[in-house]
Amino acid sequence: MNDKPSQPEEKKRAPSAIGQEIKDALEAREASQKAPTRPRQQGRAAERGQSTAIESQVEATISGAEILASSAQEFRDSLQTIRGALELLLTGKVPDARQAKQFLGIAYRETETLSSRVSDLQVASLIEVGRLRLKPTLLRMDQLLTAGVEQIAPAAADKSVTVEAKSLVDLPEIHGDEALLRIAIANTLQAAIKSASSKGSVTVSAAEREAWIVMRFSVNDEAELLNDAPASDVGGDMSLLANRGLAIYVAEKILQAHSGRFWVEGTSDKIASLNLALPLVSKPHGRGKILVVDDNPQAAILVEYALQEEGYEAIKALNGLEGLEIAKSEKVDLVILDVLLPGIDGFEVCHRLRSDPEMATIPVIMVSAKARDEDRATAMRIGADAYFAKPLGISELMEAIQNLLEGGKHHQWREAHGNAGQQ
């Protein structure tokens, strides 16, 4: 008699939401092919569109799954290294002080790697919901690259890989988001180190090529220094990097957000280099037209310069009536309004802007030496989006402008930050 208990019937796993959507779409497509009343040409067009959508969804799902799987592996690898080092130290198996210090250094650098991946997840989440916003400033890419090499060198040494920088002089300045570009450089360096062989090397070079700054991360000296490369090298292939992972995905997206490019050179079994290219532009354009109404010419000139450096078009007015005329004729995107003006003051200007249907939705930032609570309350009551007391930092003003203009969400920003602007 067989007393072995019978195995329970395996419970079938429910399909994922995306899988169910694809299944439904395929069934709908099959049903549409059988429908006799659909016009033939229209039916084929719909089928082609539906098929393309299904293929794109499957491709996106696979790509996302691969990135998540790779990221999970990275987290596990770092945590395993940290756990191993700490376990040896805590159990007293490393009596040598120098050896113990080395293990602590390895664990510390792995925590930095984990911190980088968490930053990548934060950036990726902004990318996925379309909320990645750049805060561009003038940057020296040679300084960013040199800092990146210095920061990554200890972690590279743990993996017996040397990292050095060459030809990083006399690079022109660019406009870019420093924090995001630091992430892109760090992620690219980490990928290059992973691609290098034991006791191998990564060499970082950069040069101006026509309208680009091109940066090359050469692996094991497989690629020549960038100074010898033609300008037509801007472009490239990502298929050579079999395991892209979250870090490279984020680096790609950051470069794309800067109108730049990311690509890999090499053969099917050997990576020669990872490459980044950023466009050379004097400053970003088309960010908006801003009216500065201030009877202090010196103050207006400073604000005008700062706006132009950030890519905005600036127009000045020295009194309230002139400001109203310009606001209407020039169709400005935002008004920076001083309160103490000759003739009609800033409060009256703001009131008239809000009373005119053509100008009622223009964001208004009021700036004044008046710091009393009642003045701030008056400004917000008549429709100002932000109220700042002098002296006001240029960076604080630029942040307010950017938040008010992005996506036309100045009313939501006012509700969330209006009070902060009154400090």
Per-residue pLDDT at 409: 45
Per-residue pLDDT at 419: 42
Per-residue pLDDT at 182: 92
Q: Say what the alpha-carbon torsion angle 69, 75, 81, 83 is, to the nearest 10 degrees.
A: -120
The model's pLDDT over 344-377, given as tens digits with 9 standing for 90+, comes to: 999 999 999 999 988 999 999 999 887 788 888 9
As a whole number, mean pLDDT of residues 285-297 equals 84
Answering whether pTM is above 0.85, one says no
Lowest mean pLDDT among 57-71, 93-107, 204-218, 329-343: 57-71
Asked if the peptide bond before residue 172 counts as cis, ω within 30 degrees of 0, the response is: no
pLDDT grade, residue 325 (50/70/90)? very high
Say how many C-beta atoms besides its own lie within 10 A of residue 268's C-beta: 7
Sheet-wide strand order for 212-219: 162-165, 201-209, 212-219, 270-279, 261-267
